[in-house]
Amino acid sequence: MPRLRILQLGIADYSRTWDLQRSLFERRLTDETDDSLILCEHPHTYTVGRDGVDHLGRHLLMNKVELALHGIQVFEIDRGGDITYHGPGQLVGYPILDLNGYYRDVHRYLRDLEEVIIRTTGTFGLTGHRIDKATGVWVDTPRGPEKICAIGVKVTRWITMHGFALNVHTDLKYFQHIVPCGISDKGVTSIQTLLGRPVPMPDVEEELIRRFAEVFGVTTIRPEPEPVLP
């Protein structure tokens, strides 16, 4: 059974976390470390994946002055997908996995990440589901299906980077300043919004770790966090 290092960073700067991902990727490539799962929250940040760079002018609805006023950073990154938001109250996960130890199938990997989130939200009484050709996890609401978790990954030489962003008690107004994931006809929601009550982040984080181990068939270990953050 593969071992998975769990790195719980709390609130961590996006650029430093991205550096940590790249460092773990390089070490995983040379088999110097086990698979890892980074879990954290970020300060207010918009990230733009490869599919969103050409649409940035239409999908980011704030100018540089407004971004600075709200203290929001913007990063163009090398994952798949379009633009999304990261911020406090959102559980972000970055799995650094060598898929040679699981399966060489990116489509299956994405479906397994969705399954982790579906099982996690199910523990809190929510029914998450998939939508064909729209990677992520959705929940039906009176307004129609709304996204509760965005997913965007990069796989190089079968080692993964980037990952998922689950809205726990996220301030959803920050999604109003973008076209989330380039999808304009569906909304965004959170666990707290759907339940109408607070859910502690540590409870969600521990449940997600358990479900990740279940879906991917790994044994989790918890070393000290990498000493480079926040």
User: What are the pLDDT digits (tens) for 3-25?
Assistant: 999 999 999 999 999 999 999 99
The CA-atom distances, in angstroms, between 218 and each of 39, 97, 151, 170, 214 are 16, 11, 21, 29, 7
pLDDT at res. 183: 57
Across residues 46-69, what is the average pLDDT? 75
- Whether the per-residue pLDDT at 226 is higher than 60: the answer is no
pLDDT at res. 65: 87
The larger pLDDT score, comparing residue 168 to residue 72, is at 168
Percent share of the chain, pLDDT over 70: 90
Categorize the per-residue pLDDT at 210 as very low, low, confident or very high, splitting at 50, 70 and 90.
Answer: very high
- 72 phi and psi angles, rounded to 5 deg: -105, 130
Token pair 């006809």 is found at 185
57, 82 Cβ separation under 8 angstroms: no
Task: Cite the active site residues.
Answer: 181
Q: What's the CA gap between 22 and 117, in Å, rounded? A: 24
* Those residues with Cβ within 8 angstroms of residue 210's Cβ, 6 or more apart along the chain or in another chain: none
- Whether the per-residue pLDDT at 186 is higher than 80: the answer is no
The larger pLDDT score, comparing residue 170 to residue 186, is at 170
- Whether the per-residue pLDDT at 228 is higher than 60: the answer is no
Task: Please state which of the ranges 37-41, 77-81, 97-101, 174-178 shows the lowest mean pLDDT.
Answer: 77-81
Instruction: Report the C-alpha dihedral over residues 186, 188, 190, 192, rounded to 10 degrees.
Output: -90
pLDDT at res. 84: 87
Q: What's the CA gap between 143 and 133, in Å, rounded? A: 20
- Whether the per-residue pLDDT at 147 is higher than 80: the answer is yes
Categorize the per-residue pLDDT at 52 as very low, low, confident or very high, splitting at 50, 70 and 90.
Answer: low
Categorize the per-residue pLDDT at 121 as very low, low, confident or very high, splitting at 50, 70 and 90.
Answer: very high
Which of 137, 124, 126 is CA-nearest to residue 206? 124
42, 11 Cβ separation under 8 angstroms: yes
pLDDT at res. 57: 57
